[in-house]
Structure 1
Amino acid sequence: MIAECLVVEFEVEGDDCPLAAATRATDARIEARPPQLREDGNVLLQFSAPTDEALRETLDDDDRIRYLHVADGRQEATYRCLSKHPCVVHELVSAGCMVESLQYEGGRALVMGAVVGRTVLQGVMERAGDTVGVKLRRAYQLQSESEPSLTQQWDITPKQEACIQAALEVGYFDVPREATAQEVADHLDISKSAFLERLHRAERTLFRQLFL
């Protein structure tokens, strides 16, 4: 039995998949579930983004997208569709990366997942080297399942936890403040608006559990 499991984050640049192309053409930020590859090579996609008519039109005009369905919410829309264009993510999965979530912004993709052992990670990296620009942003050992993570304890998302940790590390919560929101966002390699949105959502969740 292999005792080590690593949490990994990959950054993908240069992929021409529909979601990357759509965020390259618009200002949208997309949060996606792992794509589901069908036997015929087509891919089932489910993702969400702040309500954006330009994104909707871009996807609707993409000949590689079929059966696009959009469910509008108060602040964001949920998209479901079929893509005729497999993306680089499938190469990482084939090499052993268990993809858990994806984020697309500005034509780039951030892939978050896990690999079992460093040997598998090496294989994933070798497979990634044969594709478009894929680089490993970070890898760290998954903590014991018997020790609940902050996300499990407080019902916040991994991305919200990362924002809180980064803000603490660079002094965003210090008095006087040692870092600006933009500096924390740059540290996370996300937009300022994305950082503030995740931070405020996490604060709301935490405060509700503490005081209500």
Structure 2
Amino acid sequence: MIAACLVVAFSVTGDDCPLARAARETGVPIDARPSQLRTDDNALLQFSAPAPDAAGHRGADRAEGFEELEEFETEDRSVDPARYGPVAETLDADDRVRYLHGAFAGDRVEFRCLSKRPCVVHALSDAGFMVESIRYDPDGEHHRGAVVGYDVLQGVLSVGADRSDVGDVDIAVERVHPLGATEGDTAGARRWSITSAQEAALRTALEMGYFAVPRETDASEVAAALGVSKSALLERLRRGHRALLEQVL
């Protein structure tokens, strides 16, 4: 058995799959579930994006949905993608996308479709990456999941160079740590995938009023309370902030 299972967050730039292109062209972030790759190399996608502001569209959509269910229509009919926002319009115009469907869910639109072009995540999975979540931002995409062992991690990182079918992509590790608790980790550190040192820095800074408005203490005083240098404190706060925001937003 392999001793190490690593929780990994990757950033990917240069992907030209439909979701990556839609996020880039519209400026709208897209949250995706792990896609399903069929034997014909087409992929089944499930993802969501912010809903347009017009609340009337959402109500109308729900009403029509119940009506259609009761009638059990046997023929597909088209709807205007504009009602579901710019992501829907962009994907509807992409000839690599088929069977696009959108449904309002609160302040988001849940989409499903078939993509004739697999995304980079499928190449990462082929190399051993077990994906948990994907976020497509206008400036790139972020993959979260796990790999078993450091050899597999190196194989995943080499996908951009070894797989010509994924295009000119750049893959970089944003964060990596062993799966499960390490000795000395607190419950908060395990829950939010931050180090115990980062959690201590965040908690102490919060308790001392560092995040208050106006600020009740400065970084030097917080660092002194922790017995670390000011630069070390600021680095822990920065890394801790980033880890928390990536998981919450």
CA 1:172–1:149 in 2, change beyond 3 Å: closer, same or farther? closer
The reply to whether residue 104 of structure 1 matches residue 136 of structure 2 is yes
CA 1:77–1:197 in 2, change beyond 3 Å: closer, same or farther? farther
Q: Compute the TM-score of the two structures, normalised by the length of structure 1.
A: 0.72
CA 1:152–1:45 in 2, change beyond 3 Å: closer, same or farther? farther
Which of these residues, 152, 161, 181, is aligned with residue 120 of structure 1? 152
* Number of aligned positions between the proteins: 185
Deviation (angstroms), 1:173: 7.1
Deviation (angstroms), 1:26: 1.1
The reply to whether residue 77 of structure 1 matches residue 109 of structure 2 is yes
Residue 51 of structure 1 aligns with which residue?
A: 51
Deviations 1:22-41 (A, max 9, x none): 11111211111111100001
Q: Identity of paired residues, percent? A: 46
- Report matched runs for 1:30-179 at 5 Å: 30-52=30-52, 53-130=85-162, 132-143=169-180, 168=202, 171=205, 175-177=209-211
Deviation (angstroms), 1:168: 2.5
Q: Secondary structure at the match of 1:80?
A: strand
Deviation (angstroms), 1:3: 2.1
State whether residues 32 and 48 of structure 1, in contact with CA within 8 Å, keep that contact through their aligned partners in structure 2.
yes
State whether residues 167 and 184 of structure 1, in contact with CA within 8 Å, keep that contact through their aligned partners in structure 2.
no
Deviation (angstroms), 1:140: 0.6
- The residue type paired with residue 188 of structure 1 is R
Aligned-pair Cα RMSD in Å: 3.8
Deviation (angstroms), 1:171: 4.6
State whether residues 32 and 133 of structure 2, in contact with CA within 8 Å, keep that contact through their aligned partners in structure 1.
yes
Q: Which residues of structure 2 form unaligned runs of 5+?
A: 53-84, 164-168, 212-217, 220-236
The reply to whether residue 26 of structure 1 matches residue 60 of structure 2 is no
- The residue type paired with residue 11 of structure 1 is S
Q: Distance in 2 between matches of 1:115 and 1:196?
A: 19
Larger Rg: 2
